[in-house]
A = this chain, B = another copy of it.
Amino acid sequence: MLEMAILGLLDGQELHGYEIRKRLRDQLGLLFNVSFGSLYPALGRLERAGAVESTADAGISGAVRTVPMTGSLSGERAAMRSRRAASGRGRRGRKVYRITDSGRRLFAELLERDPSSDGDDARSFGLRLAFARYLTPHGRLRLLERRRAQLADDLANARAVTAGGSQGLDPYARLLAEHTTDSTEREISWLDRLIEAERAKGRSVEGEVRQDDLQNDDMDDMQNVIENDMQDMEGATS
């Protein structure tokens, strides 16, 4: 899951580890606070697997720079230093990561996978939703519907329990159960709105291009390509 998040972040911009951690923390729905002891090994694994490449901080780009604060010439000096460093390569400086084509394919595959296969449901769903722009319309709908089904299921179980032993249950436990139930209901209706919005988008596209089936075929082809890729990945990773 961490690896998916990293790949997603790296798609479109080059970043170094320290910066990746920050963006993970506050760019992704508030709840992806990963430690360095987890991040750096993950970057290492991705690099060994060929999903990302690293270079020793070649010419700090605007995307990488954090706000200069004092402005003015510090940027110039930093650039000079990094140029010096880039040639030397013994200097323990920033290591900038860039996603590879293989990494991009891996990302697409991880994203399309069943969220329930990587443990923490809420996190796993949230992460995929945050990257939903990289999903096909079909994959997006599948993501939302799976999540909805899961929540509806939880809700049914919860109600079965609360209905049966409602009077015997501890007051505090009941308070909690009720709140959880409410939250789940709200999340379901939120999902319903998102699903409806996605469907509406689909319908308007259909009117113009009519290529739903074509898209599904594309997806299947892609899955096949990726399946092979994953075997390489798994061999290299473990």
**Chain A: residues with CB nearer than 8 A to chain B?**
26-31, 126, 129-133, 154, 157-158, 161, 165, 169-173, 175-177, 179-180, 183, 186-187, 190, 194
Contacts and interface: CB of A to CB of B under 8 A. Distances in A.
A172 B170 CA distance: 40
A29 B173 contact: yes
7 contacts: A27-B165, A29-B176, A30-B161, A131-B172, A133-B170, A133-B171, A179-B187
Contacts of A132: 172
This protein's copies in its complex: 2
Contacts of A26: 157, 161
A158 B190 contact: no
A198 to B, nearest CB: 11
Contact of A176 (B130, B157, B180): B130
